[in-house]
Chains A and B, each alone.
Chain A
């Protein structure tokens, strides 16, 4: 089962009719333990609003005197009951999750790019930059995050080269990449980063190819392996520093052949998009008087 499938178990921490209210400490400890273990918890209170029910399985947890289905759960919903007086809430939730086939939890850091479409200009710089095929274009030729599982944890490099600061990584430490407000100085700083990224010649793939050719040439003429390795180390160090690319990602960069192939695919996607935009532009009728605002 991939990360995009499966319903989560909804745990309802129930203190209504047919139950004994929890002590404040017990309620907080139960909530914390369930959330820290990745569960979704609803605390309903009579007459107050919570998220509406869906078809996810429900576990009602509480100091239950009798089995009373809370009003927020529709009559035909799959409901399980566990008494907090009789066991650990996390164990109970795990057991019900398994019994209902609800989504199993993963220990992972949710790391993937999130596009701010209020800022994105669809320039495709991220698509041509990312070496791991994370980006693609949708049917409307709009940039999209197509393969988020390919994204390398803790690598924010694509957001560093985005000229509009339109790519977020909410788990990143610093703003504006973490979603903080974008300020004028951020745009200027990010523009500088783009300039720095072009230190390799403006086209990362081209630059890597050139560097590889040069390294091969040097290697063949000088037969000095240590020099070649030093040069590679220097280049990777610069990438790491300027674009904040983690060591693990640098270690897993695709081979030169893969990069070539990837670059060709990205160029084809981009050309297709440009051709499409041109066609739309060419076939668009002349604006009416209303459209001109006359």
Chain B
């Protein structure tokens, strides 16, 4: 199981205290992970890195709404596999809930 964290760098739509807390606890956890600046930006650029994430097998993604994440990958031509991907929503859920699921 791999972990992907999206920093939503280019807009302030994810509460800053939530994403900061999630990153801090992920960083301190001793867990391996990948972190990207902004999935929307990567989708817009059809960044090949999205393919390696989509092809990487079971993944937990800390980002925003699952529907948005699903179709952002699709828009980049690298749809996420139908199974094995869990999207955690830092726009709506607390840092506690996100990190608990992320590290479970």
Contacts and interface: CB of A to CB of B under 8 A. Distances in A.
A222 B41 CA distance: 51
Nearest to B11: A171
Interface size class, chain A:
35 or more
A94 interface: no
Contacts of A170: 13, 40, 64-65, 68, 72
B32 A178 contact: no
Contact of A168 (B42, B52, B55, B71): B71
7 contacts: A40-B37, A44-B32, A45-B30, A51-B49, A52-B52, A117-B74, A179-B67
B32 to A, nearest CB: 4
A268 B46 CA distance: 29
Contacts of B41: 38, 108, 110
A109 B10 contact: yes
A97 interface: no
Interface in B32-47: 32-38, 40-47
- Chain A interface secondary structure, helix, strand, loop or mixed? loop
B28, B67, B92, most chain A CB atoms within 10 A: B67
Contact of A110 (B1, B30, B44, B74): B44
A211 interface: no
A273 to B, nearest CB: 20
B13 A171 contact: yes
B99 to A, nearest CB: 14
Nearest to B36: A40
B52 A54 contact: yes
A115 B43 CA distance: 12
Q: Which 5 A-B pairs have the closest CB atoms?
A: A179-B68, A179-B65, A48-B32, A110-B40, A45-B32
Given A171-B10, A180-B65, 19 more contacts: A3-B45, A24-B27, A35-B35, A36-B37, A38-B9, A40-B34, A43-B33, A44-B32, A51-B4, A56-B49, A109-B10, A110-B43, A110-B44, A171-B11, A175-B65, A178-B68, A179-B67, A180-B92, A181-B65
Contacts of B69: 179
Nearest to B67: A179
Contacts of B35: 31, 35, 40-43
A131 B4 CA distance: 37
Interface of A: 3-8, 10, 24, 27-28, 31-32, 35-45, 48-54, 56, 103, 108-110, 112, 114-117, 145, 148, 168, 170-173, 175, 178-181
Interface residues of B, number: 50
Interface string B1-28: 1101001011101000000100110011
Contacts of A5: 45
Interface of B: 1-2, 4, 7, 9-11, 13, 20, 23-24, 27-28, 30-38, 40-49, 51-53, 55-57, 64-69, 71-72, 74-75, 91-92
Nearest to A56: B49
Nearest to B71: A114
A24 B27 CA distance: 7
A3 B76 CA distance: 12
Contacts of B36: 35, 40
A158 to B, nearest CB: 15
Contact of B38 (A48, A110, A112): A110
